[in-house]
Amino acid sequence: MRKAWLIGLFASTLAAGLAAAPASAQQSGDEERCKAAAAGTVFGDAKADARWVGPDAAAGLPGYCEVKGTLSPVAGSNIGVVFRLPADWNGKLLGIGGGGWAGNVTLAAAAQGLKAGYATAQTDGGHPSPEPWTNDWVTNSEAATDFAWRAISRMTVAGKALVRSYYGRAQSRAYFNGCSTGGRMALMEAQRFPADYDGIIAGAPVYSLQVQSSAILRNNGFARAGFTEAQLKLVNASVLKACDGKDGALDGIIAQPRACAWQPTVLACKPGRAGANCLSAAQVATLRTMYAGIRAPDGSYAQLPLSKGGELGWSRFINVAGTGNNQANGGGMPGLAPVLFGTRAVDFNKLDPMTDVPEARASTFAKAYEATDPDLTAFFAHGGKLLLWHGESDPGPSPVGTLDYARAVQKGDAAGAAANMRTYMLPGVEHCRGGPGADTVDWLATLDQWVDKGQAPATLTATKADSPMTRPVCAWPQVAQRTGKGDVNDPKSWRCVAGAKQ
């Protein structure tokens, strides 16, 4: 009996050892293959750090080859890149954008793509600091060029070479996904490097210096008449009372902010009175300007409009109390002074929308940084697809700016835009996420269905984390209107209708 038990124990131990051996050998082989693929393929003489990262069941991540290095296409250029190549590859490459004045090489940003089987490509944008509002590096012309347009394309070219080396074949599709600064990077790729990607997602794009000038001018406007949190709640409640239900649902969200006729004069204090339940004449004037924006001499916006219904999210990027600057530092514009104005001293507390803003946008830096070119014919010509989207309550880059760009593309190439571009506006959503609206859409899956399977998107579905909220998102210029029947969180209770002209 004891002999049989010992034989059984030996057999089970041997089996366990044999089972463990291939796993160890597999890991060793993966490590060697990873290092071999990175050696001399894309980094030239520079050293690349390659390692195999095992699967993380708790995070839902697959095992992947991680390659880090620096690309230096010209002297003085130092583009940090990170590539992650999953074991169970879907055959496609995903480029990922950054935020603020920084790139993004974090695993968190790559996680969604890795889980779906994409090989991912990321960059620090040409400077290692992840600080979103610090940009003193722009005085280095090569670092400024890297961030403006060079880093993403070089990252993409290198990523494609690494994919071929590691997997033994090229990617079948290449996509780019970015929001905010990543949205600007996305548009820059479509404009300057139309062959880099088959499909591009540009969310809430900070694509011109109008975003930064708007941040400064908004802060300055509130400095003349600030608001307490209670007063902004008062404004928001009044706006919602006037316009919330126009889409058929009382849900704290205004579907078409620019079609809302509410005016701040309804809250104006009566002569001789003041208090928390009314607004001073200066506050009324400030709100009017915030909703309308300020035009520069050429008719473009120096200060883009803020949206009615989004008042409770303004403080994320604006000092609404009027007590000075805030963590966003005017979108980082003061740090750009040397490359926008040279040696001329500019008082940003008195930034002139008629003179200072046009001068800034005429600078050499602006011509490299701004992704304003509406000519996407080369991108569309090879079948490139563009998904544009923006939250209607964004207090940073205004949804008005994104719609201006979409209209400009349509004006230049109506047929190309109709076939290859879709624009979506998300009611109640703030900058890239957040706000009372449904802020989560599977943009990547939508783009893949369009590019890979030829299924052009129409109405999409948006959800909100930790909430039952579910809403249809109509392709602009249509908007969602509730039919008046059924569950408000059932997309079948809504239909897409023609939106108001805006």
* pLDDT number for residue 3: 40
Q: Does the pLDDT value for residue 4 go beyond 60?
A: no
More confident residue, 311 or 486: 311
> Does 197 have pLDDT greater than 90?
yes
Q: Mean pLDDT across the stretch 146-172?
A: 96
Q: Are residues 435 and 393 in the same domain?
A: yes
Nearest alpha carbon to residue 141 among 71, 81, 78, 213: 78
Q: Alpha carbon of 308 to those of 110, 145, 257: distances in Å?
A: 34, 37, 5
Tell me the CA distances in angstroms from 60 to 52, 54, 175, 222, 296, one per residue in order: 16, 11, 22, 45, 50
Give me the CATH number covering residue 162.
3.40.50.1820
Determine, yes or no, domain membership for 36: no
Last residue of a domain, one of 332, 367, 402: 367
Query: What pLDDT shows up at residue 26?
Result: 64
Residue 24 lies in a domain: no
Check pLDDT > 50 for residue 211. yes
Query: What was the pLDDT predicted at 300?
Result: 97
249 and 324 in a single domain? The answer is yes
C-beta of residue 30 within 8 angstroms of C-beta of residue 150: no
Secondary structure class of 95 (helix, strand, coil): strand
Q: Identify whether residues 308 and 268 lie together within a single domain.
A: yes
What is the span of the domain harbouring residue 240? 211-367
Closest alpha carbon to 105 in 88, 123, 87: 123
Residue 2 belongs to some domain of the structure: no
Structural tokens at position 300: 């473009």
Say if residue 141 is in the same domain as residue 225. no
Indicate if the pLDDT at residue 18 is higher than 90.
Answer: no
Output the pLDDT for position 10: 32
Residue 196 has pLDDT above 60, yes or no: yes
Round the average pLDDT of the chain to a whole number and report it: 92
- Report the pLDDT value the prediction gives residue 287, as an integer from 0 to 100: 98
Span 389-418, average pLDDT: 98
Q: Is residue 444 part of a domain?
A: yes
Evaluate whether 110 touches 123 at the Cβ level (below 8 Å): no
pLDDT of 271: 86
Opening angle at CA 75, ends 72 and 80, nearest 5 = 25
pLDDT for the residue numbered 273: 76
Average pLDDT over residues 312-331: 89
The verdict on 382 and 360 lying in the same domain is no
pLDDT digit string (tens) for 93-141? Answer: 999 999 999 999 999 999 999 999 999 999 999 999 999 999 999 999 9
* Mean pLDDT within 393-411: 98
Q: Which residue in the block uniquely carries the two structure tokens 């620090």?
A: 124
Q: How many domains does the chain have?
A: 2
pLDDT at residue 324, rounded to an integer: 74
Helix (H) or strand (E) holding 28: helix 2-38
Tokens of 25: 């050998």
For residue 42, being part of any structural domain is answered with: no
CA-CA distance, 310 to 255, in Å (whole number)?
11
pLDDT one-digit tens code per residue, 40-89: 667 766 678 999 999 999 999 999 999 999 999 999 999 999 999 999 99
Q: Answer yes or no: do 121 and 174 share one domain.
A: yes
Per residue, the 3-state secondary structure of 274-340, as one string, reads CCCCCECHHHHHHHHHHHHCEECCCCCEEECCCCCCCHHHHHHCCCCCCCCCCCCHHHHHHHHHHHH
Is 470 a domain residue? no
Please tell me whether residues 227 and 361 are part of one structural domain.
Answer: yes
pLDDT tens digits, 365-394? 999 999 999 999 999 999 999 999 999 999
Percent of the chain's residues with pLDDT above 70: 93
Asked whether residue 21 is domain-assigned, the answer is no
Least reliable range by pLDDT among 11-20, 50-59, 251-260, 378-387: 11-20
The whole-number average pLDDT for the span 152-178 is 96
Query: Is residue 125 domain-shared with residue 145, that is, in the same domain?
Result: yes
Mean pLDDT of the region 417-422: 98
Say if residue 186 is in the same domain as residue 332: no
What is the token pair recorded at 315? 């403080």
Q: Which of 212-221, 251-260, 321-330 has the lowest mean pLDDT?
A: 321-330
Please give the average per-residue pLDDT across 137-153, as a whole number.
97
Residue 497 in any domain: the answer is no
DSSP for 420-471 reads HEEEEEETT--SSS-SSS--B--HHHHHHHHHHH-----SEEEE-TTS--EE
Structure tokens at 152: 């993403």
Name the domain boundary from 341, 367, 393.
Answer: 367
Q: Are residues 263 and 161 in the same domain?
A: no
Q: Per DSSP, what are the bridge partners of residue 294?
A: 303
20 band by pLDDT with thresholds 50, 70 and 90: very low
Are 385 and 421 within 8 A, CB to CB? yes
Question: By the 8 A CB rule, do 120 and 84 touch?
Answer: yes
Q: Do residues 92 and 179 share a domain?
A: yes
- Same-domain check for residues 295 and 356: yes
On the CB side of 484, how many CA atoms lie within 13 Å of its CA? 1
* Chain segment 271-299, per-residue pLDDT in tens: 877 777 899 999 999 999 999 999 999 99
SS3 173: strand
Domain boundary among 411, 426, 454: 454
